[in-house]
């Protein structure tokens, strides 16, 4: 887990990750000039993660009209992302962060206590990166339901 904390206004950590969707891999540099919605979720094909993905899907045309690209990130494999994405017809890429490099860079790995079992897992978090590559918004411990609509309003306010 990273001890660094990401703050609004600072340059976003640069990344290059394997992706399922539009391209085999995606880097932040590839998306310069677009607003990037980078949302981290715990696990493919689980109830909250499915809800979040479906809500981003429903609003995807509006995100695109606002000049934004959505990227979902979890530590699942590309094969898992393919099944999840195809099952729910997600129009945006899912990044496979199997080595947790992206999760560590954005400090989203947290201790979780599930029925007395302590583990390290992805804290549902969203980062909005502006057209210049700077962090414009940080949402941590977000609730899946209604989250995409709230992020769309933030994106629409960016220059």
How is the chain classified by DSSP, letter by letter?
-------TTSBPPP-EEEEESSSSEEEGGGGTTSEEEEEE-S-TTSHHHHHHHHHHHHTHHHHHHTTEEEEEEESS-HHHHHHHHHHHT-SS-EEE-TT-HHHHHTT-EEEEEETTEEEEEE--EEEEE-TTSBEEEEEES--STTHHHHHHHHHHH--
Contact 53, 39 (CB under 8 A): no
Q: Does 3 reside within a domain?
A: no
What is the rounded average pLDDT of the residues 135-144? 95
Distance of CA 28 to the CA centre of its chain: 12
In this prediction, residue 116 has a pLDDT band, given cuts at 50, 70 and 90, of: confident
Per the annotation, the verdict on 49 as an active-site residue is: yes
Average pLDDT, the chain: 93
Q: Residues of the chain with pLDDT > 70: what percent? A: 97
> Is residue 112 domain-resident?
yes
Q: Give the chain's domain count.
A: 1
Per annotation, catalytic residue among 17, 35, 37, 49: 49
Q: Is residue 129 part of a domain?
A: yes
Domain membership of residue 10 (yes or no) is: no
Mean pLDDT of 6-32: 91
Residue 87, in any domain of the structure: yes
In a domain, 58, yes or no: yes
Structural domain for 100, as ranges: 16-157
Distance in angstroms (rounded) separating the CA atoms of residues 95 and 81 = 8
CATH assignment at residue 91:
3.40.30.10
Is 62 part of a structural domain of the chain? yes
The answer to whether residue 146 is domain-embedded is: yes
**In the predicted structure, residue 75 carries a pLDDT above the cut 90:** yes
Instruction: Calculate mean pLDDT across residues 76-96.
Output: 95
Q: What's the pLDDT band for 2 if we cut at 50, 70, 90? A: very low
């Amino acid at each position: 887990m990273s001890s660094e904390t990401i703050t609004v206004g600072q340059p976003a950590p640069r990344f290059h990750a394997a992706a399922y969707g539009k391209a085999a891999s995606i880097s932040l540099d590839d998306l310069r000039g677009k607003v990037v919605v980078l949302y981290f979720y715990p696990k493919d094909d689980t109830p909250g993660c499915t809800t979040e993905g479906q809500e981003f899907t429903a609003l995807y045309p509006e995100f695109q009209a606002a000049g934004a690209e959505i990227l979902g990130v979890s530590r699942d494999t590309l094969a898992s992302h393919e099944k999840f994405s195809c099952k729910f017809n997600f129009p945006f890429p899912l990044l496979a962060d199997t080595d947790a490099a992206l999760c560590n860079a954005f400090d989203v790995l947290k201790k979780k206590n599930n029925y007395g079992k302590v583990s390290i897992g992805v804290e549902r978090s969203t980062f909005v990166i502006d057209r210049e590559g700077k962090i414009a918004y940080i949402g941590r411990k977000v609730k899946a339901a209604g989250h995409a609509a709230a992020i769309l309003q933030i994106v629409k306010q960016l220059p």
